[in-house]
Each structure stands twice: as C-alpha cells, then as structure tokens.
C-alpha cells in the first residue's frame, strides 16, 4: 500500500519536470504507473481526506470494469483508520494510460478536481496527448462503463 504525506507542491514540481524532460519526437506516449499514482493522490477524495487532517493510500489491482491494457487500476482507502472503527474504503479508481483521465469506477465518472486537472494538463503536454484523443478516450470509457 502506498501512502504519501501532504505535498502538493512537490507533485506539481514532479509533473512540471516530466513536461520539461519530454522528448521532442513522435506522437503521444502512454503514462507510466508512477504518473497515474500522482493523479490518484490528487483526486477529490484525497483532497477531502487531507482537509480533515488525514490522507489516502492505495494498492494497484487488476482492472475489472475497464481493459487492463489501457488503464492502471487502484483501490483507495483513507488513512489512518478511525479510532472508533469503521470503513476506510474510498473505492476503485482507474487512470487511462493514453489520456491521463482519472475515473471513479464506483460512480462511473471522471474525477474533475482542480489539482487533478492542472497536473493532467502538464502530463498531457509532456506526453503529447491532444484534446481530441482525450475526448475519444472519455467517450469510449463511458461506453464501456455504462454497458
């Protein structure tokens, strides 16, 4: 299980470094798993937990609702567990390797948090992912999830 401290500025700096280090040739490149983890950390649920003085953690898992070859899938939980007991489950999330779109699989919708959107923009620039590809991939994912 991965757990990070509250360090949004470091995450933004890492995403910016990815853009600056990106090569100048070729078409779009898929995201690496560590880039998907950066986006997972910045989800609305992550932000909500950090505002309460908590954090989130995740484990990588095989994708069930979306194709493994196109997505990184994670199970998110809140940390630390509440002292009185109870569930810390946030739920399943997926990151599209080709578009950087983050999906809340329980709600079957993209995560549109401000921090996710800002870092997605940086990563998409670095990976040469254009808006047309993002639009196509989102339509395809909605089709898969809503079947």
For 129-146, how does the pLDDT look when each residue is reduced to its tens digit (9 = 90+)? 999 999 999 999 999 999
The predicted model gives 101-128 an average pLDDT of: 95
What pLDDT does 18 receive? Answer: 53
88: pLDDT strictly greater than 80: yes
What pLDDT does 107 receive? Answer: 96
6: confidence class by pLDDT, cuts 50, 70, 90: very low
Instruction: Please report where in the chains the tokens 């779009």 appear, as a residue.
Output: 28
CATH topology of domain 6-19+29-146: Nuclear Transport Factor 2; Chain: A, (3.10.450)
Strands 55-61 and 102-104: unpaired
Going by C-beta distance under 8 Å and a sequence separation of 6 or more, which residues neighbour residue 76? 40, 43, 45, 46, 56, 57, 58, 89, 90, 91, 92, 93
| Both structure tokens of 97 | 């390797």
The predicted model gives 20-49 an average pLDDT of: 84
What pLDDT does 5 receive? Answer: 52
Q: Residue ranges per domain, the chain?
A: 6-19+29-146
pTM, to two decimals: 0.82
54: pLDDT strictly greater than 60: yes
More confident of the two residues 6 and 61: 61
What pLDDT does 14 receive? Answer: 59
């Amino acid at each position: 299980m991965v757990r990070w401290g509250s360090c949004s500025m470091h995450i933004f700096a890492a995403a910016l470094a990815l853009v600056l280090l990106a090569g100048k040739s070729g078409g779009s490149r898929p995201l690496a798993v560590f880039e998907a983890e950066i986006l997972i950390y910045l989800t609305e649920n992550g932000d909500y937990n950090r505002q309460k003085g908590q954090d989130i953690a995740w484990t990588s898992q095989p994708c069930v609702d979306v194709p493994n070859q196109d997505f990184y899938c994670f199970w998110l939980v809140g940390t630390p567990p509440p002292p009185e007991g109870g569930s810390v489950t946030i739920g399943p999330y997926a990151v599209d390797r080709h578009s950087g779109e983050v999906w809340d699989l329980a709600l079957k919708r993209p995560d549109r948090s401000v921090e996710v959107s800002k870092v997605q923009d940086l990563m998409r620039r670095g990976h040469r992912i254009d808006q047309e590809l993002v639009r196509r991939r989102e339509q395809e994912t909605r089709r898969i999830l809503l079947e």
